[in-house]
Each structure stands twice: as C-alpha cells, then as structure tokens.
Amino acid sequence: MNISFRPHHFLCALSFRGEGYSPQFIANFSGIMRYLNSSSGENALINVVGVTDSICAPCPSKRNDHCISQKKITNLDKAHAEILNIQSGDKISWKDAKQRIADRVTLEKFHQACAPCEWKKFGWCEEVIKIHINAN
C-alpha cells in the first residue's frame, strides 16, 4: 500500500477514532489505519507531501491537489511540519512517526498547532496525544 501524508495528518492519524467528513472518507481513513497499525504496515514508509494525500483522497472538500479550506490546511501543515521536523519529500515509517510525535509534541504545542482545526473542540485528539506522550 502506497501511503502519503501531509504534515498535519500524522497527528490526525494517531487520534483517528472513526469520525470524518463522509462515509467514503471514514472508510478510506479506517483502511489506512488498519494497514499502518498492522505488523507489515508499521515499518512501511509514508511519503510526506505538501498537497492532498492518501487521507484526503475521497474527501468532499478536495479539489484536485488542494482543499476548499486551503488557507487553514496550509497553516496546520506549516505548524505540524515544524514541530515534527518533517518536510515534503521525506519518507518515514508509522513506527518512527509515532516515536517522533512522542519525542517532539507537547500539549502546549498541540494546542497551538491544532488551533485552526474544527475537530479539536471535541477533545478526542488531546486525550489520545496526552496518553501517547506520557506512555513513550
């Protein structure tokens, strides 16, 4: 399975709990996470991209290689790329990405970087990230 993530989707992937923008979006995201969390998927390399990625593929807001809320997405990507020290063109396994999240993300950084996201208010991501950074 060939997987690409834009920078802010590493944290979204860690926090994914089966919610999303449409049934197709959720089914696709669930399939990606089933693969990445499997023994063969954990070490598969994820391509870091600066445009729409494997998670965006069936999104109703996708327009070619960009999003209808592109300004917000660009801000999220910029902040997350800086925190995780990744850029377009990098390749990283899910196992290493999870370790990088544990090493580099703090709750303060999460609140700053994810501020523009409409999903943040539900608290799911904060809950998962808190557990992840305390356990690693």
Residues that bind ligand SF4 (CB under 6 A): 8, 11-12, 15, 76, 114, 117, 119-120, 125
Using CA atoms, how far apart are residues 133 and 116, in angstroms rounded to an integer? 22
Those residues whose C-beta lies under 8 Å from the C-beta of residue 127, and which sit 6 or more positions away, are none
Six token digits for residue 130: 């808190």
| Smallest distance from ligand SF4 to CB 90, Å | 19
Comparing CB distances to ligand SF4, the nearer of 66 and 120 is: 120
Least distance in angstroms from the C-beta of 86 to ligand SF4 = 15
Torsion of the alpha carbons at 51, 55, 57 and 58, rounded to the nearest 10 = -140
Nearer to ligand SF4, 44 or 117 (CB): 117
Q: Which C-beta is closer to ligand SF4: that of 40 or that of 118?
A: 118
- Cβ-based nearer residue to ligand SF4, 67 or 125: 125
Q: Determine contact, residues 30/18, Cβ cutoff 8 Å.
A: yes
CB 109: neighbour CB atoms within 10 A? Answer: 17
Smallest gap from Cβ 72 to ligand SF4, in A, equals 10
State the minimum distance, in angstroms, from the CB of residue 129 to ligand SF4.
7
Candidates 60, 59, 63, 64; CA nearest to 9 is 59
11 vs 46, beta carbon nearer ligand SF4:
11
Instruction: Give the shortest CB-101-to-ligand SF4 separation in angstroms.
Output: 10
Tokens of 33: 């996470």
